[in-house]
Amino acid sequence: MKPLAEIGVFGGSGFYSFLDKVEEVKVDTPYGAPSDTVSIGEVNGRRVAFLPRHGRKHTIPPHKINYRANLWAMKELGVQAIISPCAAGSLQRHVKPGDFVVADQYVDRTHGRADTFYEGPTVHHVSPADPYCPVLRQIAIEEIRAHGIPVHERGTIVVINGPRFSTKAESKWFTSMGWEVINMTQYPEAYLALELAIPVVNISLITDYDSGLVAEGEVKPVTAEEVMHVFHQNAERIRKVIFGMIAKIPPNFESPIRHALDYAKVTV
């Protein structure tokens, strides 16, 4: 199949509505249907594929997303790099609502999600020691700074199953571990990109303080309404950042992620 796109973005309708000459593409995968059709258009001379991970009307909760189909669709379209923004809560006081965090690590606290392409008989053990692409992370950091947005250059994102938020006890535990961000979608999305050797970067849009800080009486408990309110406020800012990044991502750039499978296959 001839590549239809070079760069992939997981996001909502606020992104692809700004594209010129949008083409809607339905992609069939061995893992079922992706979350939606893929919108392909041009940004700064680059072909970009946009896929809303929750569906364009946000009808798919995080624990029901077909992550394998979404990532396989990007691969089928020829995508060579993925930008993966997400709404997220803060676990630390210095990470404030409105800030952006360019995560460098994640902690998986999900369960029951199909999280690998390698189910036998060929066995691969792909190391996610450094799951996010350093090249894309640096481009993201520089672009966020250029737009005057407060940015945290590193951060660990703990991924919970959802759709519920954390209890105060759970959230206080996550905070005590020193983790900065909490979200429901980065795993297995980021790991599956690694299994396909596609460089990926996460930008966490901080919408709220998680409930552990509530126990000390400093902030209100998180609600879905507040999360979406702040997320929509951030939509224009993240759009500008992503479009700026697209222009600066080098074609066919070298990344350690592209070598994720080099020594992963088990041979006897």
257: left (phi over 0), alpha (psi -120 to 50) or beta: alpha
> What would the two tokens of residue 72 be?
């396989």
Superfamily for 7-259? Nucleoside phosphorylase domain (3.40.50.1580)
Lookup: tokens for 181: 């961000």
What was the pLDDT predicted at 267?
Answer: 84
- The two structure tokens encoding residue 183: 């979200």
CB atoms within 10 A of CB 240: 16
**Residue 223, pLDDT score:** 67
Which tokens is 254 given? 């070298």
pTM above 0.85, yes or no: yes
Biggest CA pair distance of the chain: 58
pLDDT of residue 216: 62
Tell me how long the chain is: 268
pLDDT at 134: 98
pLDDT, position 10 = 95
pLDDT confidence of residue 233: 73
Pairing of strands 156-160, 181-183: parallel
Domain boundaries, the chain: 7-259
Q: Give dist(CA 46, CA 245) in Å, integer.
A: 11
Just list the catalytic residues.
Answer: 208, 210
Q: pLDDT digit of tens for each residue in the chain (268 aa)?
A: 577 999 999 985 555 555 667 899 999 999 999 999 999 999 888 999 999 999 988 899 999 999 999 999 999 999 999 999 998 999 999 999 999 999 999 999 999 999 999 999 989 999 999 999 999 999 999 999 999 999 999 999 999 999 999 999 999 999 999 999 999 999 999 999 999 999 999 999 998 898 877 556 666 666 666 666 766 677 788 989 999 999 999 998 999 999 999 989 998 7
And the tokens for 20?
Answer: 């010129």
CA distances from 182 to 17, 156, 210 (A): 28, 8, 8
For residue 3, the model assigns a pLDDT of 78
